[in-house]
Amino acid sequence: MDATFLDLMAAGSSSQSLGLTHVISALLLSFVLCSVIAKLYQLTFQSLSYSRSFVHTLILGGMITCMVMMSMGDSIARGVGVLGALSLIRFRTVVRDPRDMMFLFAALGLGIACGAGVYAVAVAGCVILSSVIVLLNWAPFATRRRYEAMLRFLVEADDDSAREDVDRIMSECCSAYMLIAMREAVQGDLLEYSYQVRLIDPSYQVDLVKKLEALDKIAEVNLVMQRTTVEL
């Protein structure tokens, strides 16, 4: 019985062996498909912290995953060994944007499909994912026309009418605004106001600053546009 069991194990391992042509084809296919995903990431990137190494990671990660999948095959022992080897690696790079993480998962998924030999899933998945990426990039889905900014200016402490003029100007240029801070400045002679404002249109930022500067008792008008998703 021991001999029969060993023969079955040898036959199973020999059936799992991959030819050189299959290995090269799977790696090349993973390279092509992951390159498509990486190129789409480069074309649709809208933030400021662009990373060339991350684009390379999308391609290399898919190919390495493909190679690992082909190395494991259907062997549980190989899978446990690969899991143990990868557990020794500590990836300390933080992926700040969830969209970047999804691109990385897409590249790894394509590599898994190529390594498992399900080429139809890999090709179809790449085509459909690419179409969705292009659609989300050009379609207005999930976009919101919000132009938020931080407004600061100084007002004379004994001037009560300036607040009414400021409210009138903000109503003309802003869809919403809120006073978030007020403190004394210049030894109590001036008051510094800080507003969180949402402009009706980005072109109104120039009009807002000019109208506030035109008021006699308002000085040092500063308007800083905000975008919380940008990281330098």
pLDDT at 75: 78
**Which tokens is 161 given?**
């009418």
Q: Is the dihedral of CA 190, 195, 201, 205 positive or negative?
A: positive
CB 54 within 8 A of CB 93: no
Q: Which of 209, 147, 207 is nearest to 175 (CA)?
A: 147
Neighbour-count burial of 218, counting CB atoms closer than 10 A to its CB (0-12 exposed, 13-18 middle, 19+ buried): buried
- Report the C-alpha gap between 226 and 137 in whole angstroms: 21
pLDDT at 11: 41
Sheet with 190-199: strands ordered across = 174-185, 190-199, 147-156, 218-225
CB 154 within 8 A of CB 70: no
pLDDT at 208: 87
pLDDT at 74: 76
**pLDDT band, residue 110 (cuts 50/70/90):** very high
Phi, psi of 147 (to 5 degrees): -120, 90
Q: What is the pTM of this model?
A: 0.63
pLDDT at 146: 62
pLDDT at 188: 67
pLDDT at 191: 84
Q: What is the mean pLDDT of residues 61-89?
A: 80
85 vs 209, which has greater pLDDT?
209
Mean pLDDT of the chain: 81
Least reliable range by pLDDT among 61-65, 93-97, 124-128: 93-97
Residue 34 CA to its chain's centroid (Å): 17
Q: What is the mean pLDDT of residues 97-107?
A: 91
pLDDT at 15: 39
For residue 33, pLDDT over 80 is answered with yes
**pLDDT band, residue 4 (cuts 50/70/90):** very low
pLDDT at 28: 96
pLDDT at 27: 95
Least reliable range by pLDDT among 28-37, 88-97, 203-212: 88-97
Domains and CATH numbers, the chain: 2-138 (no CATH), 147-225 (3.30.70.60)
- Report the C-alpha gap between 133 and 44 in whole angstroms: 8
pLDDT at 198: 85
Residues 6 or more apart in contact with residue 157 via CB below 8 angstroms: 184, 188, 189, 190, 191
pLDDT at 10: 42
What amino acid occupies position 214? Answer: A
Residue 219, SS3 per DSSP: strand
**pLDDT band, residue 231 (cuts 50/70/90):** very low
Q: What angle in degrees, to the nearest 10, is found between the helix axes of 20-44 and 119-138? A: 10
